[in-house]
Amino acid sequence: MRHGIGYRKFQKSTAHTRSMFRNLATSLLRHETIETTIGKAKDLRPIVEKLITSARKPTLAGRRHAYGYIMDKDVVAKLFDVIGPRFKSRDGGYTRVLKTRRREGDAAEMAVIALLPDA
């Protein structure tokens, strides 16, 4: 049984995994939908949801936290000006993960992770 095993390692170093999720989070918030593998989508979900939760109340501390994780100033501005107010009345569950297909080259299960429309 997998009790107490909290996350996937993706056969990458810690720095590479962190960088990969920073890039995925930035892309998801920029485009509002991306396609990736199921494991990455499931592990990306709590990261993005915490960022959106901090953007619901536009404080300076929340904005600085977002700047520490997201690599693009325009995406941080979009997060606090567009995405945060959109989910103001919603208590979590801002993203959706949908299985789509198997990738051609290695038959990896793919999924689309997207932000929900207006709440």
Q: What's the pLDDT tens digit per position in 23-76?
A: 999 999 999 999 999 999 999 999 999 999 999 998 999 999 999 999 899 999
Supply the mean pLDDT for the chain.
92
Is the pTM higher than 0.75?
yes
Amino acid at 88: K
Distance CA 72, CA 86 (A): 20
Domains in the chain with CATH codes = 14-115 (3.90.1030.10)
Q: Write the Ramachandran bin of 83: left for phi over 0, alpha for psi from -120 to 50, otherwise beta.
A: alpha
Q: Please report the pLDDT score of residue 5 as a whole number.
A: 77
